[in-house]
Amino acid sequence: MADVCAGLARVADGIEKELMRTLVTGGAGFLGAALANRMVKEGHTVLALDDLTAGDPRRLSSDVLLTRGDVRDVPKLWTLLQGVDCVYHLAARVRVPESIHYPSDYNAVNVGGTVAVMEAMRDTGVRRVVFASSGALYGEQAHQPIRERQLPNPNSPYGVSKVAAEYYLATLGTLYNIETVSLRVFNAYGPSQDLPPSYPPVIPQLLKQAQTGGSLVIFGEGAQTRDFVFLDDVVDALVAAATATDVNRAVINIGSGREISINDLADCVARVSGKQISVIHNQGQEGGVSRLVADVGLAQDLLGWAPHTELEDGLRLTLERDRRFQ
């Protein structure tokens, strides 16, 4: 792996580190910005590509070299990939309900963008990509916690787009001699997570309602469970995947390994925030899959990674760091 992601060596606090030049697609997004900021803080050179439809450049350190552009623009990728050791491919459209209404857009960006990145990497000789896939591709599964060997069963165009992107990644990686690692991230949350007016993620929506005294509509009975993993833990996994050995073609779950119902999550937010949340159940609309929790044993084995942030601690950190909730 040293020949793939070798960078400049330096000594800091007596520890020699490998420095890299990386490209983060979707680099001004929720996950991308957190990753880019961590990487530059550690001394790496980080280029970020984002079309800024959802990304916000204010999230980024001034040391991150941001370019505005479409991830499907191969000539632009050629320019950005010069001298890059490793690509983090995070650019995607990510809202499951939205994907049901706009499946062609999700296919174009999530699948087409992945193919474009692989073509440009082939042309410029970049030899490793870490891909942010999603636990949403599993859909309804009888066996929980979910292991990577279980067959995907996506129930949305978003989930389908992640399955297709993984297949393209593995196939083109083999054809072009590019090392690929796919991290199936479950429900990530943390400071600066997008809070759009339509289809907002559940945790920032709950935190907002706790602060404003509004009501939260929960689809179904609220008994459906999800695996929420804190942003810092996800970034740790992404960083580890860039230099891990023996992970070529690996698909790896990244989650907390614990599940919580949406009803219990609302109670947890109320405890942490010290405020009550009014919950309305919409029984006329399904709440998605009944259970979704990751088995994270493979991440420990291949990346030496494990989640460290308990849900209540992560919620407190989000409240402390995110000005929108203060």
- Please state the rounded mean pLDDT for residues 83-89: 98
Q: Position of tokens 């950190």?
A: 317
pLDDT over threshold 80, residue 14: no
The span from the CA of 314 to the CA of 260, in Å, is: 14
pLDDT band at 15; cut points 50, 70, 90: low
The pLDDT of residue 284 is: 67
Q: Residue 7: pLDDT above 50?
A: no
Indicate whether 111 pLDDT > 60: yes
Per-residue pLDDT reduced to its tens digit, 144-168: 999 999 999 999 999 999 999 999 9
Per the CB < 8 A criterion, the answer to whether 190 and 34 are in contact is: yes
Containing 197, the helix (H) or strand (E) segment is none
Q: Give the count of beta carbons closer than 10 Å to the beta carbon of residue 194.
A: 15
Query: pLDDT tens across 230-239, in order?
Result: 999 999 999 9
Closest to 308 (Cα-Cα) out of 245, 258, 241, 264: 258
Of the candidates 266, 278, 275, 271, the one whose C-alpha atom is nearest the C-alpha of residue 211 is 275
SS3 content of the chain, % helix, strand, coil (to 5): 40, 20, 40
**Catalytic residues, which ones?**
158
Contacts of 157 (CB under 8 A, 6+ apart): 99, 100, 102, 103, 106, 107
Mean pLDDT of 137-144: 97
- Tell me the pTM: 0.94
What is the reported pLDDT for 276? 81
Whether the per-residue pLDDT at 297 is higher than 90: the answer is yes
pLDDT of residue 9: 42
